[in-house]
Structure 1
Amino acid sequence: ERALELAKRYGHPVIVHVMTTKGKGFAAAEANEEDHFHAVGRIDPVTGASLKASGGASWTQAFAGAMVE
């Protein structure tokens, strides 16, 4: 909090580097030792199990298509 208060007082843009811990507060992510759910798709919020994709284009695919056009 102190870093954010100091940054606010500068009067111009600043960068505040914040080191976080992925998955804190979400039991399924805390139990996932490999990456703490860093790069997951859709999951069941209760069990943490992966859900199947919707079958449509992903956001990345749609964005890439728009950029190419």
Structure 2
Amino acid sequence: MHIVVDEDKCVAGGQCVFAAPDVFDQRDDDGIVVLLDERPPISSQEDVLTAISLCPAAAIRLADQDAR
């Protein structure tokens, strides 16, 4: 699993941090997403998929989706 974040799309909603705090954080100054681990362990997969589905700006995706 390889995660890609588009900071330009991020609206600082913070849903990703609530869903997967080991993978995502937010910048202190503007709340934009910070990717802590672009290749998290498989044990984080469910949390990451939740974060992707909750993102109001669709700023998070799996890189593998590009190949589809």
TM-score of the alignment, normalized to the shorter chain, above 0.5: no
By relative contact order (CA 8 Å, sep 6+), the higher-ranking structure is 2
| TM-score normalised by L of structure 2 | 0.24
- TM-score normalised over the length of structure 1: 0.24
Structure number with higher strand proportion: 2
Greater Rg, structure 1 or structure 2?
A: 1
